[in-house]
Structure 1
Amino acid sequence: MHSNYRISPLGDRAVIIEWEQQIGGEIHRQVMQAFHGLRQLRKSYILDIIPAYASLTVVYDAVLLYREQHGYTVETISNLITATLNNASAVAPGPSRLLEIPVCYHPSLAPDLPVMAERKNIPPEQIIALHTAQTYTVYMLGFLPGFPYMGKVHDQLVTPRLKHPRVKVPAGSVGIAGAQTGIYPQESPGGWNIIGRTPLQLFDAAAENPCYCGPGDQVKFIPVSLADFREMTHTI
């Protein structure tokens, strides 16, 4: 396990493990390796493990930790995590899923696509081609339940967030913000540049696994026509 990380308290019921703050495959590989290593411990006092781009938050129950360790200090959980991370290099990161997500890039569903094309002086078809050519890593979920932060987009597609966020962004909207791409699981306000929409439901609170995407997944966007989008919207 790479040693270039730090563990800091995050309130009195969690700690955060932080690596070098950058978006990249190697850093995220270490995050996911630590994530799987801690999950495999199956400790009752670890309540949740939340991966992000370059950090991992561990939420724990201090009472259960005290009982299991026969004592508890501020350093107890950090020492246990450090010992796990030191052995995490032997932990298999787990299989990565490849998710093919249909997206319709029709102008009626992609309000920012023409603007992006004009500003970048390239046709909308090229933006679509660049967006669908890559396979993206889901680095984290956040902002909304099930919202996947994915990257990185092609350099030509890097675009800052909107100066004035929309009050309503439809569920399924696919957007770009900076070098990231993501999907809105529910209707909500938002400032990402919307270039398409998927008919898939990205979050279902009643499902056994509520989130369609998960950290570490690989995502490939598959372009579909407006007619296919409408048909899938009624059948999925």
Structure 2
Amino acid sequence: MRFLPCGLGAVLVELDDAATRRRLDAALRAQPLHGVREHVPAARTVLLVLEPGADARAVTARVRSLPLAEDTGAADEAEPIEVPVRYDGEDLEEVAATLGMSPAEVVTRHTGQVWTVEFCGFAPGFGYLTGEAGDLVVPRRHDPRPRIPAGAVALADQYTGVYPRSSPGGWQLIGTTSMAMWDTARPTPALLAPGTRVRFVDESRA
């Protein structure tokens, strides 16, 4: 672990890989630390937002002493959230060609595995999910779109995600969902928080 100060009120923890970041994230959720107001996981880092007046060195020592359980690949044993999808994305055929399979096979693989939210970013409610099979890895688009509609389901690198609102973006679009990813009327506005497990369901087969 490498600890970097972020202004006067936060510490960034850099980890060697995503697996170690998952383990630290799980440990912090299971055992909140004195002096840490919240923690924000990313691909290979965890940002520790400190309580006012907290001693950053003491917090760092507490983090170093945390027992990190072995990563099992599933952050939560709760039943996955089911997200209905219409697989009508503009890039579905191109994604299939890139992967050397048919569009139907892309849909089968996307719906046939459980995905886990690794971290959130880019926009409120946008979760970066990895699949247990790891078999839908595609590059981002060379030319990002100036506008992607809310509810677009997309792939990029090893991740899948759902755009919570209309925005620019460079991910490969494979479908759309009517389920709201971000709703301030809910007690927890973000549907997909880190650690949440998700199963995508093909609406045409529902």
| TM range, smaller chain | 0.7 to 0.9
Residue 27 of structure 2 is aligned to residue 28 of structure 1: no
Residue 100 of structure 2 is aligned to residue 116 of structure 1: no
Q: Cα–Cα, structure 1 residues 30 and 58, in superposed 2: closer, same or farther, change >3 Å?
A: closer
TM-score (norm 1): 0.76
Deviation at 1:27, TM superposition (A): 4.0
> Secondary structure of 1:126's match?
helix
| 1:69 corresponding residue in structure 2 | none
| 2:185 corresponding residue in structure 1 | 206
Residue 19 of structure 2 is aligned to residue 18 of structure 1: no
Q: C-alpha distance in 2, partners of 1:128/1:95?
A: 24
Residue 62 of structure 2 is aligned to residue 99 of structure 1: no
Aligned partners of 1:101 and 1:200 also within 8 Å? yes
Q: Deviations over 1:106-144 (max 9, x none)?
A: 3xxx00001122333321000111111111111101100
| 1:9 corresponding residue in structure 2 | 5
CA RMSD of aligned residues (A): 2.5
Q: C-alpha distance in 2, partners of 1:125/1:196?
A: 12
Q: Cα–Cα, structure 1 residues 204 and 192, in superposed 2: closer, same or farther, change >3 Å?
A: same
Deviation at 1:46, TM superposition (A): 3.6
Deviation at 1:82, TM superposition (A): 2.2
Write 1 or 2 for the structure with the bigger share of helix: 1
Residue 186 of structure 2 is aligned to residue 192 of structure 1: no
| 1:68 corresponding residue in structure 2 | none
Residue 152 of structure 2 is aligned to residue 170 of structure 1: no
Structure 1 regions of 5+ residues with no counterpart? Answer: 66-75, 229-236
State the structure with more CA Rg. Answer: 1
Number of aligned pairs? Answer: 201
TM-score (norm 2): 0.86
> Secondary structure of 1:225's match?
helix
Q: Cα–Cα, structure 1 residues 163 and 59, in superposed 2: closer, same or farther, change >3 Å?
A: same
